[in-house]
Chain A
């Protein structure tokens, strides 16, 4: 099985999200960067599939040169090849991102063979457009199912089983390979990178591809924080002594 995972470099935000003065972006000067939890699970799954079935796993990002940090994280987990489709620091829109990924996949596949599976996050951690993976799949004429929390490759049959959860049930899809899946956190429990993996990834070569970026029809104008109803906080006390007032409150609500 040859597997490709697509990841996006995003700011790792905490309790509040600082914005730039013009409101066009997150002010990342004091922030670290990461990939989303869904994508961490996609990376882990790719490593496991290759450990189990053999083959190779690659990771790809469309982003600025700094996004190598995120590629190297994936490589430290065990993905062998890292590919950066180089853009500026501005976020690309979902159509442009998908087109850049499609071009890069075509280039990579023309040199070897098709990836049996391409894994995406169900939605990117920041923009959450819920569409890049589906666009890539369609352009490559491959099946795509989203919301996936279970992947069972059946390479001997040339198929893969994909499981997803709904509020009221579970669905299992069968798709012919090569296929695309957009996955959700909970698919697996990602490992922490081992020291040897980190050292290997640090020295690994990263392939770069210069894309032709054609802007799509969705244009980000401005970011702003959501309005929030300010709550009055009532301090019920300190330490174990607060138990009385807490249970008074619970009793008032009819909960005890």
Chain B
């Protein structure tokens, strides 16, 4: 049996959970077993979403300490559920929360964990009695792929969103809901959430349709005035490379890349950015990229949709002037 850890979203299942379920179903077919689901909250929405995925049983973790998210309590509760149900494997979405809860559970049971996987399959030629899984995981946010082997009595895996086509399985008439009450003593070694504030959604870097971004080539904090002006003209957001954040030209919240924000705008304008792999993984999902750089051989220039060779201090003001000329 495989367990998928699922979360609800506004309408039914969260996308990452649906993706994890689809992976689990494919894997269960090959292994000749079935898939059950586990959730901490939002049971009614989750249950309705699950029927269409061919999942016949949903374990709902119920405990006062698990109502609010708590890394240690959720991890401990999941560890106990796994001890109770003894599945062959557990799949969850490779979100911050999915990775954290599975790592907490893995630490508690003493099991290995493979995070950020793109695909999971039984290993060929795996020893009888120790059926390993062969998987591919992302390293460095996608700069490299790692083929790996996972051997454990219960295999814990998180899978990246959008890695499998979510397909509806054989619908089941009814999802059997089983309540699981973990034993959570008042462990002193536990963090507690003391405050949660919602953030207002403006034109955020993560969701903007256009992002105008600057790197070392912009030269200074003042150099970003023209980047901001161009972004505003296009109704977009300002981004930057790590050089710009490290030099204090921009706040870290503007940084695009592996340790910044991953974006997928309609258009990404990269000004004076070389296109190091750690920056590239943050912007490669952009529909189109316009690179402006003095070096035509910079990786960003050779990988872009459109390239302009030149000094950003000449090119960007000229673009701004041209937009103003045409729109005034």
The interface of chain A, by Cβ under 8 A from chain B, is 13-17, 26, 36-38, 93-95, 98, 125-131, 134-135, 137-139, 141-147, 161-162, 165-176, 179, 184-186, 189-190, 216-226, 228, 231-244, 246-247, 249-251, 253, 255-256
B140 touches which of A128, A169, A224, A231 (Cβ 8 Å) = A128
CB atoms of B103 and A169 under 8 A apart: no
Q: Which of B55-63, B168-176, B221-229, B304-312 contacts A (4 or more CB under 8 A)?
A: B304-312
Does chain A have a CB within 8 A of B4?
no
Once bound together, how far apart are the Cα atoms of A60 and B163, in whole Å?
36
Query: Can you give 8 A-B contacts (C-beta < 8 A)?
Result: A98-B107, A130-B103, A131-B103, A134-B71, A171-B195, A221-B146, A253-B266, A253-B267
B307 touches A233 (CB 8 A): yes
If over half of A's interface residues share one DSSP class (helix, strand or loop), that class is named, otherwise mixed; here it is mixed
Sorted nearest first, the 3 A-B pairs with minimum C-beta distance are A217-B112, A186-B252, A240-B318
Chain B contacts of A255 at CB under 8 A?
Answer: 210, 234-235, 266-267
Known pairs A128-B139, A138-B104, A219-B150 / 4 extra A-B pairs, C-beta < 8 Å: A128-B116, A138-B108, A176-B188, A246-B319
Q: For the complex, what is the distance from the CA of A171 to the CA of B114, rounded to whole Å?
A: 26
**Bound CA–CA A234/B145 (angstroms):** 29
Q: Determine how close the nearest CB of chain A comes to the CB of B190; give it in whole angstroms.
A: 5
Interface string of B122-166 (1 = CB under 8 A from A): 000000000000100011111111111111100000000000000
Contacts of B220 in A (CB 8 A): none
CB distance from A223 to the nearest CB of B (A): 5
Q: Contact between A143 and B138 (Cβ–Cβ < 8 Å)?
A: no
- Return A30 CB to nearest CB of chain B, in Å: 15
State whether A146 touches B71 (Cβ < 8 A): yes
Minimum CB distance partner of A192 in chain B: B246
| Minimal Cβ-Cβ distance residue in A for B157 | A218
Asked if B82 CB lies within 8 Å of chain A CBs, one says no
Please state if A218 and B148 are interface contacts (CB–CB under 8 Å).
yes
Give the distance in Å from the alpha carbon of A179 to the alpha carbon of B234 in the complex. Answer: 46
| Interface-located stretch among B32-40, B43-51, B272-280 | B272-280
Q: Give the secondary structure class of B's interface.
A: mixed
Q: A142-B189, A185-B260 are in contact. Are A134 and B100 (CB under 8 A)?
A: yes
* A residues near B29, Cβ cutoff 8 Å: none
User: A215 to nearest B CB, angstroms?
Assistant: 10
Partner of B299, one of A16, A225, A251: A16
B77-121 CB mask vs A (1 if < 8 Å, else 0) is 000000000000000000010011001101110011111100000
- Minimum CB distance partner of A19 in chain B: B144
Q: Interface residues of B, CB < 8 Å — how many?
A: 96
A-facing mask of B184-213, CB < 8 A → 1, else 0? 000011111111111101000010001000
Q: Which residues of B are found within 8 Å of A98, using beta-carbon distances?
A: 107
Q: Is the CB of A131 within 8 A of B106?
A: yes
CA distance A240 to B322 in the complex (A): 10
A225 in complex: contacting residue of B115, B144, B274, CB < 8 Å: B144
Name the distance in Å between B199's Cβ and chain A's nearest Cβ. Answer: 5
> Are the CB atoms of B276 and A234 closer together than 8 Å?
no
Task: Tell me the bound Cα distance from A236 to B284 in angstroms.
Answer: 20
Complex Cα spacing A189 to B225, Å: 22
Measured in the bound complex, the distance between the Cα atoms of B138 and A220 in whole Å is: 12
Nearest chain B residue, comparing its CB with the CB of A225: B144
CB distance from A16 to the nearest CB of B (A): 7
Are B107 and A139 within 8 A (Cβ)?
Answer: yes
Question: Is A168 touching B199 in the complex (CB atoms < 8 A)?
Answer: yes
Given contacts A130-B103, A221-B148, A233-B305, contact A144 B253 (CB under 8 A): no
Q: Are A185 and B259 in contact (CB under 8 A)?
A: yes
The residue among B152, B195, B245, B248 with the most chain A CB atoms within 10 A of its own CB is B195
Q: Which A residues are in CB contact (< 8 Å) with B96?
A: 146-147, 166
Q: Which of B134, B150, B191, B326 sits near A247, CB closer than 8 Å?
A: B326
The answer, yes or no, to whether B301 is at the interface (CB within 8 Å) is: yes
Instruction: Say whether B194 contacts A173, CB under 8 Å.
Output: yes
- In the complex, whether B323 has a CB less than 8 A from a CB of chain A is yes
- Identify which of B112, B140, B274, B289 contacts A218 (C-beta below 8 A): B112
How far is it, in angstroms, between the C-alpha of A249 and the C-alpha of B175 when the chains are bound? 52
Q: Are A17 and B306 touching (Cβ within 8 A)?
A: no
Which residues of chain A come closer than 8 Å to B112, judged between CB atoms?
Answer: 93-95, 216-218
Q: Does B31 contact A (CB under 8 A)?
A: no
B199 touching A169, Cβ below 8 Å = yes
List residues 293-322 of chain B with CB under 8 A from any CB of chain A: 298-299, 301-311, 314-315, 317-319, 321-322
Complex contact A128–B115 (CB within 8 A): yes
Alpha-carbon separation in the docked complex, A143 to B188 (Å): 8
